[in-house]
Amino acid sequence: MNTEANFDSAEPPFGKKAVVWLVNHSKDAMPKASVSFDVYTPPSQRIAAPYLGQLREDLPATVDLLKRRRADLISEAAIDAYVELNWLEWRGGGLKLTIIGENLCKQMTVRTVHPDD
């Protein structure tokens, strides 16, 4: 009697890793091997910290270039990083600032405090 599952396709049914089940007639089916799941890593942890800081500092200038329709002056690597970080998004064939990008720009805006207020 065959105790292992047989997958006819060349690709496992559950992505890159699959569980092979053994049938134990005296007990319920038990997994032969445990499945290791890929852990989600946020984009901010996939980009080197110094480069992330530079992107954050350059974001207001990047937004200004976008407003002046000068996206050609922004490097492709920076655009890719901004999109991956979800600070910019492609919308209607153009780059637009996301809510996250807006909030970052607002945080970086210098606020003047008047002593009379």
> How would you write the pLDDT of the chain (117 residues) with one tens digit per residue?
554 555 444 554 544 454 555 555 555 555 555 555 677 777 778 888 888 889 999 999 999 999 999 999 999 999 999 999 999 999 998 999 999 999 999 988 766 666 765
pLDDT of res. 40: 75
pLDDT of res. 73: 95
Angstrom distances, CA of residue 20 to CA of 13, 37, 66, 106: 11, 15, 52, 52
- Helices 76-84/49-67 angle, 10° precision: 100
- Does the model's pTM come out above 0.85? no
Tokens of 54: 């530079």
Beta strands in 1-117 (DSSP E): 21-22, 30-31, 88-91, 94-97
Over its C-alpha atoms, the chain yields an Rg (Å, rounded) of 25
Q: Which residues contact 3 (CB under 8 A, 6 or more apart)?
A: 22, 23
